[in-house]
Amino acid sequence: MTYAAHHGHFIPYFADKASPKSNAAAKTPGVLWRIFDAIVESRQKSVDREIARLLARSGGRLTDDIERQMTQSLLTGDWNVRQ
């Protein structure tokens, strides 16, 4: 059996409208958040480069062994992969 909801069955939603002053402060992250984001982004770029190097050494093939090596390197942080 199907049911079509009546618009009166829903509770109207009104978003809280905060003052413009608090919205401006909330939009810009603090210094520590920006530093943290920069560190995370740098680490991600480094990992991406190392994965690209590992794939290049394997001839561009993504095999089970290469995937296992990537996972092991990501978990241990040791990118001196034997090949």
Per-residue pLDDT of the chain (83 residues; tens, 9 = 90+): 566 666 666 776 665 555 555 555 567 888 999 999 999 999 889 888 988 888 888 888 888 888 888 888 888 877 665 54
Whether 44 maps to a domain, the answer reads yes
State residue 36's pLDDT score: 93
Cβ atoms of 55 and 66 closer than 8 Å: yes
State residue 63's pLDDT score: 87
Whether 81 maps to a domain, the answer reads no
Which are the contacts of 29, defined by CB distance < 8 A and separation ≥ 6?
Answer: 37
State residue 42's pLDDT score: 92
Whether 38 maps to a domain, the answer reads yes
Whether 37 maps to a domain, the answer reads yes
Q: Which domain holds residue 28?
A: 22-76
Count of domains in the chain? 1
Whether 69 maps to a domain, the answer reads yes
Which are the contacts of 9, defined by CB distance < 8 A and separation ≥ 6?
Answer: none
Whether 13 maps to a domain, the answer reads no
Whether 10 maps to a domain, the answer reads no
The structure tokens 């993504």 sit at 62
